[in-house]
Chain A
């Protein structure tokens, strides 16, 4: 379509113009959606949580041998081989702490501090082992605990995760323990009690979020651990120590507190083993107990973790069984490496995937494997338990000793059979239920491996049942079977890793490039519209405009680049207010220079600090549940909440503000000779405001005694929602019916905008509670100042000079004001920043769609909906008359494009920074939520722009 044709479209009096605008804006929106969709597919790894649970009697469906029912009445999937389990979790235990030093010339002080583990591992090699455990990213404690207990690979978005509450809803080890009558005792890190709120019979949780506190959790553990070890009312004990993690975060690994912590743990473990051994005699408390000392993830030298580097994922597991297995070493231990350490002791280090933990422990305790577990029962850890060895001794005790290993192997193969069956079942169920499953090709490959293994199994199992054939002959067969199962399990784990832990950089790159191209399209369109207007600014004015433009660009770029640092993301609201204040001060200076609009500039300067104070109050709220943000409460104004005076102020102020807003609205509408429907809409809003004031008054504690406004508190909010909806409907109908009168286009636009804004405002105010009217008032004043200050940009002489450059700075300020509004209403870019209470204003029961809509309106109302629908005021108010309709519509379209451009730049940089920081410690805590909020905001903004283009231009 050539320029001339397009111009003809615009000139076409009736409809051509707005259709063109509509198509362009729709195209941009679709482009954004596509870019975001692709990027998100690559970046936000999603996994669907299934709600199925493994049951004891599921085993009947498997092709494997069930455990002998008569021999052990408590057995379920496998025969329990360990009676009790003590799990000591040392948070952020680096594997290098165990590094054997004979090859090293240097020795770090923190190496080799857990001497006691080396000692045990070298003294009794059959009953104690050290494993190098490899975790999967993200290596944050919460995700790791989830991974350890579910045997899966938790991702950032586990679909189905209940918002807010971190409790695990998937099938997991702890659930299976409780389900099968095991009693679990927990002490230490309170993350456990958040994840498993109702599972422990006794728990001693200690607060974990104060990183500077090295000892509270550990001392709490120690005081409870040793008495509990002598008790007999538990089956599984979990003690989670946090000192090493905190010492790493605060002081780094190379520090004295770290060494002290490690030495302390050395003593504790020594004592624990002492207790276990003293009670390990026949009939003792710990006759058949296994001790696991493990880390949940590693840490870098600086003490950070969260990413996927070797230092962060490599941690350790030390296992010790009090019931000693026979000394014959397992011949298949090909994964272990043995070395002599500096004291000349021979130490073997085996390796294990952290993924395998849940399955192995379930097999040891004889529990059903968690439904979502994709791990493999680790042979070395499994063989440590004495119980796995003398399984068959009682039945055929006269068998020769060589078959002991063979027996064990047989047992292990059966366990692997159950394991593979369970994993296959999970994969099948997952791919049938999940939205984003695995690719067909991979699934087919996995299925082939499984059916191969099953074919072999049918032969092996025949061998099994024919008991007389057991012996050396079947050993190679068993070995083959074992390899077949291992191949299957490994390929499943690889498949799961590729779709749940690895970013798809190609996808992210394509999405990012599309986003960039949309930016280019924006620039191109803005330029093209400039040309279409056919107006060029006069030269002397040009330098000033250029200054405004370049200044706006610098401001936008500063804001965009600030997203590269996590600290600036946390302080985003204050950064925005800082930039807004900078523009305000420069405009004040300019106003002094031109000696006009002084009042407006001053008011804007006064408004910004108020916004900032409210942003800081919001941060105060955030700091309560944020690990990262540390706000000094003294930084903000300390208001004594207790005093009666402030309570009155807090009650009266919102209602007062509401009255002022209503008055202003009335003044605006009364002064303009406006049309029928629009006027009725605004009066409807005034009525709504009255209802809202009444609602709050009846709610307030001051009046409750006097006024007995009984009845339903939900009535007024519902009426308000309905009225708001009706108003919008009226506006839409009015748009269709009322014939356009060409007179006074600007004023008409102003009235239309006011009507639309007022229709939205009552709903948004009641959702955001008492702060609502104050924020609306601030938005009103801020918007008015910005509109008035536009006059500074527009020279009095040549108002018709139509370069869009003069709009750059005001539109930038408008968007900065919108960002400030988001933060000053107490929101922040995290899922705990959503005000869930707002979703239940007017409703008591939960309905997903309804509540989601209300929550969206509350979250983005002040920052996206109102500013975008109000943007035409910027064009209409200060645009002098004598403009024909086409130029006005083009101008409007241009301003919307500009606003969309600014938002899109921000989102582009957010994308860039999450790509760069994808292995950052806070990627899931900070960058990813910011990305989600930005993306939702962008799409919502695009949608609003589209709607308002239809509303205003048509």
Chain B
């Protein structure tokens, strides 16, 4: 356990300029992502008068498109090894990560109980694309195809460094939020928001936001401790 940790420390110190001096940047990043989500809904409602409950497919499409167009460029700024990997390459990686993440999220949802009929197919696709924006796309932009990093973030959940935190915690938050979001679905309240994927989406967004807040807290805490050690 000790060895790989130290190995991983090494590249981190290389781009310390990005990952350490960044609480303010991270706050900006999180705020922009949160605002991106809000603006996605705003656009859907004000320009097309779509709501998640009535036109879930179209709304999800708009929201993930808006959010992806914000997340990919922003997270590409935080890419690993910026010397070897150009900004454009990071963006392309993010774009490739989008469908790949959807391919993981959609079966996950179906395993857990998402409906499988043809008429639910578009909803599931757009929902999993949104989930992909929350989970896979940032990681794809930042880490590329580095299996070790992916393994550390998603299998072991052992983030080290602020970049890891801002990717790992919101992603896990979104997944756990979506899992909890499925709970009200069987209740007999006969509300429109109980349908797939409305409440699951709400849960995921809520979990994502909470994950961002927590990750920001972690980063601040982390930095302060670092400073303390430095002194």
Contacts and interface: CB of A to CB of B under 8 A. Distances in A.
Nearest to A613: B116
B112 interface: yes
Interface stretch (B66-74, B78-86, B179-187, B202-210): B179-187
B187 A593 contact: no
Contacts of A592: 151, 155
Contacts of A578: 112-113, 182
Contact of B188 (A566, A584, A638): A566
B186 A585 contact: no
A390 B111 CA distance: 78
Interface of A: 565-568, 570-571, 574-575, 577-578, 581-582, 584-585, 589-590, 592-593, 605-606, 608-609, 612-613, 628, 634-638
Nearest to A558: B183
B229 interface: no
Contacts of A605: 107, 111
Given A574-B186, A636-B115, 18 more contacts: A566-B188, A570-B188, A578-B112, A581-B111, A581-B112, A585-B108, A585-B112, A589-B155, A593-B155, A593-B156, A605-B111, A606-B111, A609-B113, A612-B113, A634-B119, A635-B117, A636-B117, A637-B117
Q: Which of B108, B120, B156, B186 has the most A CB atoms < 10 Å from its CB?
A: B186
A571 B120 CA distance: 20
Nearest to B182: A578
A608 B155 CA distance: 21
Interface in B136-180: 151, 154-156, 179
Interface string B88-104: 00000000000000000
Contact of A584 (B110, B111, B113): B111
A575 B183 CA distance: 9
A628 B187 CA distance: 12
The 9 residue pairs across chains A and B that have the minimum distance between CB atoms? A571-B186, A593-B155, A567-B188, A567-B187, A581-B112, A581-B111, A592-B155, A635-B115, A578-B113
Secondary structure at the B interface, as helix, strand, loop or mixed, is helix
A608 B188 CA distance: 24
Secondary structure at the A interface, as helix, strand, loop or mixed, is helix
A582 B108 CA distance: 9
20 contacts: A571-B186, A575-B186, A578-B182, A581-B112, A582-B112, A582-B179, A585-B108, A585-B112, A590-B155, A592-B151, A593-B155, A605-B111, A606-B111, A609-B110, A609-B113, A628-B188, A635-B117, A635-B120, A636-B115, A636-B117
A609 B111 contact: yes
Given A566-B188, A567-B187, A568-B186, A574 B117 contact: no
Nearest to B195: A632
A756 B119 CA distance: 45
A636 B186 CA distance: 15
Given A568-B186, A589-B155, A592-B151, A577 B116 contact: no
A584 B120 CA distance: 24
B112 to A, nearest CB: 5
Given A567-B187, A578-B182, A605-B111, A637 B116 contact: yes
Q: Which of A567, A568, A574, A613 has the most B CB atoms < 10 Å from its CB?
A: A567
Nearest to B154: A589
Given A582-B179, A589-B155, A577 B187 contact: no
B116 A609 contact: yes
Contacts of B116: 609, 613, 637
A577 B111 CA distance: 9
Contacts of B113: 574, 577-578, 581, 609, 612
Contacts of B187: 565, 567-568
